[in-house]
Amino acid sequence: MMNRKYINKLFIFLTAIFVFSYFPIEGMAATIFNVIKGNLLFGIESKDNMQGVAYANGFYYVSFDIGKGYGVIRKYTKTGILVQQSPPLLIGHSSEIDYREKNGNFYVSNGGGTNPTKITEVNFNTENPYVVQTIDLSYLGNAALVAVDNYSDTLVVHTAANNKANPTINIIDFNGKLVNKFSIKNQGVPQGIAVNNSIIYYYTNNKITLINYSGQVIGTVRIWQPGESEGIAIEQEGSDASVVYGYNKSNRLLKVDINDIHKIMTQ
C-alpha cells in the first residue's frame, strides 16, 4: 500500500495540474495542452525599446519607443537585415503598428496605460518617412493598440482605463468615427493586436487571445519565451497565414502557422 506521505505528494501534484489548467495566471503557461513554441525569425540588433510589429509586402516593420514622445519605425527583410529607418517621429510609446492596403500607409498607436489614445498615420513610401496625420481618439480612453482590418477597411483599436482594466475593442473608420465596440475581461497587460478573417488576435504577456467581432473570446494559446511580449502581426502569403510576434530582452521576432494556433487553442 502507498504510505500517507506519498499520497499527500500525489494529491498536491494533481491539484496543481488542475489549478493551472483552469485558472490562468498572467505570464505562465496555463495548461500543458495549449502552449505554442514558435520559430525564431531573427534577432534584432538594436537594444531600443521595441513595441509594435507589422508585415507588408514581404517585409517586417517594427516600431520602437525612443523616449520624449518620439518613436522610430524600422523595416527588415525576412532574414532580419535592416533596410530602412524612419527619422524620429512624434508617435509616442509606439505600442503597435499595422499596414493599410488601400493607401499603403502605416498606423501607429501611442499606447501606455495613462496616455489618452492617439493613432498616427505614417507614410513610409519615401526616403524620409513622415507623419501624415494624427487621429485623436482620447475620448475612448488610454492603453491604445491598433490593427487595420483591410477587408472592411477599418481600424481596430484597443483601449482601456489603464493596463489592468477590462479592455474595449473599438471599430473605427479612418475619419475617426466609432462604428462599433465591445468589451472583454482583462487578459493581462496589453502588448499587441492583429486581425485576420474577422478574428482579432489580442496579445498580452505570454498569451494570445482570439476574439470574434461579436466580442466573444473563442480561444487562447500560451507562449513560453523569456522577456516581455511586444507586438503581433499577421503575415499573409497567398492562402498561407502566420502569426508573427515579438519579444524583448533580447529583441526578436518569432513566427507560428496560424492553423497551429487554432488547433491547440483552448476556450
The whole-number pLDDT of residue 137 equals 98
Owner of C-alpha cell 497567398 = 238
User: What DSSP string runs through 117-177?
Assistant: PEEEEEE-SSSS-EEEEEEE-GGG-EEEEEEEETTTTEEEEEEESSTTSPPEEEEE-TTS-
Nearest to 120 by CA among 111, 110, 112, 83: 110
The whole-number pLDDT of residue 262 equals 94
Q: Rounded to an integer, what distance in angstroms lies between the CA atom of residue 92 and that of residue 107? A: 12
Residues in the chain, pLDDT under 70: 1-33
Distance of CA 255 to the CA centre of its chain: 13
Sequence-separated (6 or more) residues with CB below 8 Å from residue 160:
113, 141, 142, 143, 166, 167, 168, 186, 190
The whole-number pLDDT of residue 22 equals 39
The whole-number pLDDT of residue 37 equals 83
Whole-prediction pTM:
0.88
Q: Rounded to an integer, what distance in angstroms lies between the CA atom of residue 203 and that of residue 159? A: 13
- The 8-class DSSP code of residue 266 comes to B
